[in-house]
Amino acid sequence: MTALTRFFARDWQRHEGVRPVQIWGLRLFYLLMLVFVVPEAWGALLRHQGPWDHVCAVAFCVWATYPALALFGLFRPLRWLPLMLFAIGYKSLWLAFVAWPLWRSGTLAGSPAEDMAYSFAILPLLAATVPWGYVWRSYIAWPRQPSPAAAC
């Protein structure tokens, strides 16, 4: 088996059936979170002066925390997969409830939401890196009971 073939083949021994290409894709997105989101969010928190609007403060605190946790995802990508699911969830909701109505009404272009919509447009790439079979087996499906015949 060539190195390229192994890169796209399921790896049951090292990654619980997840393809190495997906593991490295997850690591790439964790790294992108660290590089782009952490400085922006933490910069806003550290440079802010005066009283906070409580809802805005919560949003910035969440936005600063989840990509900071992405550091752990670089080393244990499957263990920190719920972090990626959180990112997919909130980006999907934002696109559905904020960007889509603005786009439908023709007011997204030139609005303050336009830049955010462009940065969230990579959502399909992010979703493509997620090992959905692993998500199903690990977080959704009922655990299988070993059959008595398998014990023999």
| Residue 130: per-residue pLDDT | 95
What value does the mean pLDDT take over residues 43-61? 91
CA 53 to chain CA centroid, nearest Å: 27
pTM over 0.85: no
Domain boundaries of the chain, sorted by first residue: 19-135
Per-residue pLDDT reduced to its tens digit, 79-135:
999 999 999 999 999 999 999 999 999 999 999 999 999 989 889 999 999 999 999
| H-run or E-run covering 44 | helix 38-47
CA dihedral 95, 140, 137, 79 (to 10 degrees): 70
Distance from C-alpha of 89 to C-alpha of 123, rounded to nearest angstrom: 10
What value does the mean pLDDT take over residues 27-43? 91
| Residue 17: per-residue pLDDT | 77
| Residue 5: per-residue pLDDT | 72
CA dihedral 26, 46, 61, 40 (to 10 degrees): -40
